[in-house]
Amino acid sequence: MTHGIPTRWRSVLPHLSQPLPPDRTPPRTADAPGEIKINIPTELIRHSVSAREYWDIPAPVADRYRQYRPTPLWRARGFEEAVGARVPVYVKNEGVNISGSHKLNTALAQAHYYRQAGVEELVTGTGAGQWGTAMAAACALFGLRCRVFMVESSLRRKPYRGVLMRMLGAEVHSSPSGMTKVSAKEDLAAGNSLSLAIGEAVEYAADHDRVAFCIGSGETYSILHQSVIGLEAEEQLADLGAEIGAVVGCVGAGSNFGGIALPFHATARAAGREGPRLVAAESSSTPKLTRGVYAYDKTDATGSGPMEAMYTIGSDYRIPDAHTAGLRFHGAAKLISAMRHSGDIDAMAVSQADALAAGRLLARHESVLPAPESGHALAAAARIAASPDATGGVLVCVSGHGYLDLGAYEHFLDGGLEDQSPPDEALARAVAGLTRVETRP
């Protein structure tokens, strides 16, 4: 660490209770005739599979980190009082860069490594738009073209996300776009999803030279890059003399939660002691960690990438529309899923109404407006901190700001929010054909 800014990323892979299950080749079907080749720089592959614990942050990436890191951490006394907390609550705010979220931490790293590999354009899919914005910013800084497929319902609700990406030089397409084979097959009346937007990006990149697909949440290397969050937090909490009993982050696929929580797990394991409780807060409309199954599933709508072991509600399940688009992904990252399966991670489902209520409390009592996704983590942190069983402080990551999500807060204030938790029978149908991962001993 130098002046509070990490100089190395820290991997949790050496400290897992059991190895990650290997990926599987997808079955060949009429809709998914075979695996599409996704070109990933060698260094990113090493970040995902090596047992090495520490990785030096490249100088060009570290230079960009210095523009907005370290990010603020403080004891949220006003929020504590508002929620009836019995223990201190500490907030780590990742919404202080141009993307407005933690996503820039890995976007900068990926742009650096892809440029080194000779790629000229990066293509990605985004839900709420934070990842697309982060990728557009990183491409601008590293001299790459950028193309983003954004979930149509999110882009319609948050058009200024699209404007910001275009300001940064990106081409932005509403998904389903009609530009790709996978979108042409989509039933437009059935809604749209992050899985489809990612599938469009995968297909587009595969069809063009010197163009690569990149992703910012579920991959093990992106979670590694996010470790700067937890590494900073450990040092900041030590300066405050704070002891932490629980670490909370929201989960779409898992990069924000992994970034804040997994360094604490690695530190505890390395010291041979019990670490804080790690709590993944997810949307009750997409409850993969609390109501899903641990099985092999596809990661995008093309079904052409490797099948990964994940907690999932089924990649074909039609996730209800919601204001928390960044959490509307059917599965959790394979690293997060494996740790959930081994009992190293807890999970809690939160409704969007409760999430936005928690976000409003943070705004009123701490003068920070969180993204709706981050509201899920705040609501979970409030429950934990107010519990009679609470011991030690609660650390919660605000993964992004909510200034481009005021439409969601307006809907909440007007009393129009409706949560749609999946019926048990619908979830059972969605996962019926999946191959379950072997139960742990």
**Closest among 170, 129, 175, 161 to 302, alpha carbons compared:** 175
Q: Which pLDDT value is given to residue 33?
A: 46
Q: Is residue 139 very low, low, confident or very high in pLDDT (cuts 50, 70, 90)?
A: very high
* Distance of alpha carbon 438 from alpha carbon 254, whole angstroms: 22
Name, in order, each residue with C-beta under 8 angstroms of 282's C-beta and a sequence gap of 6 or more: 250, 251, 288, 289, 290, 327, 332, 347, 348, 349, 350, 376
Contact (Cβ atoms closer than 8 angstroms) between residue 304 and residue 34: yes
Q: What is the CATH number of domain 61-99+227-431?
A: 3.40.50.1100
With a cut of 50, say whether residue 1 has pLDDT above it. Answer: no
Q: Which pLDDT value is given to residue 187?
A: 60
Cβ burial of 411 (10 Å; 0-12, 13-18, 19+) is middle
- Taking only the tens place, the pLDDT of each residue in 158-173 is 899 999 999 999 999 9
- Taking only the tens place, the pLDDT of each residue in 336-384 is 999 999 999 999 999 999 999 999 999 999 999 999 999 999 999 999 9
- Taking only the tens place, the pLDDT of each residue in 206-250 is 999 999 999 988 899 999 999 999 999 999 999 999 999 999 999
**Closest among 97, 153, 83 to 403, alpha carbons compared:** 97
User: What is the Cα 170 distance to its own chain's centre?
Assistant: 21
* Distance of alpha carbon 85 from alpha carbon 383, whole angstroms: 8
Q: Which two tokens stand for residue 440?
A: 């742990």
Q: What is the pLDDT of the chain when averaged over all its residues?
A: 92
What value does the mean pLDDT take over residues 60-81?
Answer: 98
Q: Is residue 427 very low, low, confident or very high in pLDDT (cuts 50, 70, 90)?
A: very high
DSSP assignment string, 385-414 = HHSTT--SEEEEEE-BB-TT-HHHHHHHHT
Strand 54-56 to strand 8-10: parallel, antiparallel, or no bridges (unpaired)?
A: antiparallel
The domain limits of the chain are 61-99+227-431
Q: Which pLDDT value is given to residue 318?
A: 81
Least confident of 289-293, 308-312, 398-402, 415-419: 415-419
**Closest among 256, 325, 258, 257 to 286, alpha carbons compared:** 325
Sign of the CA dihedral with 315 first, then 45, 251, and 356 last: negative
With a cut of 70, say whether residue 186 has pLDDT above it. Answer: no
